[in-house]
Structure 1
């Protein structure tokens, strides 16, 4: 088996330990970024819902201000965002190179997208349930946790699965500027050194991670939809 792999992908076999390391780097970036960006994105999504017109904490001016900030951040291409955030990244983690440094722009890059997804998911909650909770004297926090998050949980799982796939895409793009992971391996080792087998294997591993996240997302959606 090892002879077969070595014959069809000699460059990959030569750096097999680096391939494993890069795979874990990609998973590490995705998990940490998903945890932090997910928390912030849910908070922002909730704020968008409750401050919108006819929201339980209606504040249209604040809503439009936050909406403009989110839309502006979403409009910046991620590759440019990497450069723009370099000073901030260096301030936070002390460097702009490596997997930990790459997590900073990945988080900031995915938050606007995810917060919008959260907003759309929570807006699917039946307004009648919200009104019923208000008429019963429930506080805003009780409505947020007991109605929006509880009733909208299946939709949140669905949009989270989609956002994870986008996030994995950002981890590969971070490799262009030395962010580590499979994206960095595919570009720095595969493309720049004309080692096509490294590029192909890196791409396949990224696809496996994406497919695994899709499968997990479908399982969670099925379990939470019943």
Structure 2
């Protein structure tokens, strides 16, 4: 491999790391609170609010059910408004974050639903506030499940980031399209695929190890 091609791979891998890292963190920052709200406002939740829960649930389901390649194109005006461009790594972060947030929200909601209701009822009997129940009972008990959900999200974002390369989002996907497909260099495409597989395995392994450690505690 020439030094020029090596530089291209390093640059593309760095762009993928940036896209996945920033969108994952932003998606979690939006999705975790949203997932908690969805759980709390459910009919069986601590703060039942059928109207809010139904509207929020519809929005979450609408974004989740939209194929990512369509979402990429649909949010181009919003992306331009935020970052001033519809191509490049910064632009790709916007649709990636929009895709990640509702995904995280549903996973967090599912993790919270697995918490023993007896613990919640015991906390309520002791006079705990909703805030205390959330941060001292629900989140600590569901934390391993939440981390597992975030791991799944980051793995999914790796695939989404490669797809973003199809419309000039940068990263390994863009490198594979421009050199592996358009310039008929199958070895470049193969190497991109291998790097993505190794990257996904590394993320999944680190997430699984962290989940096991949290559960043992």
With the shorter chain as reference, the TM-score category is over 0.9
Between the aligned partners of 1:82 and 1:35, the Cα distance in structure 2 is: 19
Partner of 2:15: 25
Partner of 1:169: 159
TM-score (norm 1): 0.93
| Structure 2 residue 122 is the aligned partner of structure 1 residue 132 | yes
Partner of 1:35: 25
Partner of 1:3: none
Partner of 1:159: 149
**1:74-130: CA deviations, max 9, x gaps?**
111111111110010000001011001100000001211111111101111111101
Counterpart pick for 1:110 among 95, 100, 108: 100
User: 4+ residue stretches of structure 1 with deviation over 3 A?
Assistant: none
**1:27-49: CA deviations, max 9, x gaps?**
11111111110111101100000
Partner of 1:93: 83
Partner of 1:191: 181
Q: Which runs of 5+ in 2 are unaligned?
A: none
Partner of 1:202: 192
**1:192-226: CA deviations, max 9, x gaps?**
11111110111111111101101101110111011
Instruction: Compute the displacement of 1:14 (Å).
Output: 4.4
Between the aligned partners of 1:16 and 1:154, the Cα distance in structure 2 is: 38
Q: Which runs of 5+ in 1 are unaligned?
A: 1-5, 7-11
Q: The residue matched to 1:199 in structure 2 has which SS?
A: helix
Q: The residue matched to 2:134 in structure 1 has which SS?
A: helix
User: Which residues of 2 match residues 9-24 of structure 1 at below 5 A?
Assistant: 14-24=4-14
Count of residues in correspondence between the two structures:
216
| Structure 2 residue 66 is the aligned partner of structure 1 residue 76 | yes
TM-score (norm 2): 0.97
Between the aligned partners of 1:13 and 1:189, the Cα distance in structure 2 is: 15
Between the aligned partners of 2:106 and 2:14, the Cα distance in structure 1 is: 29
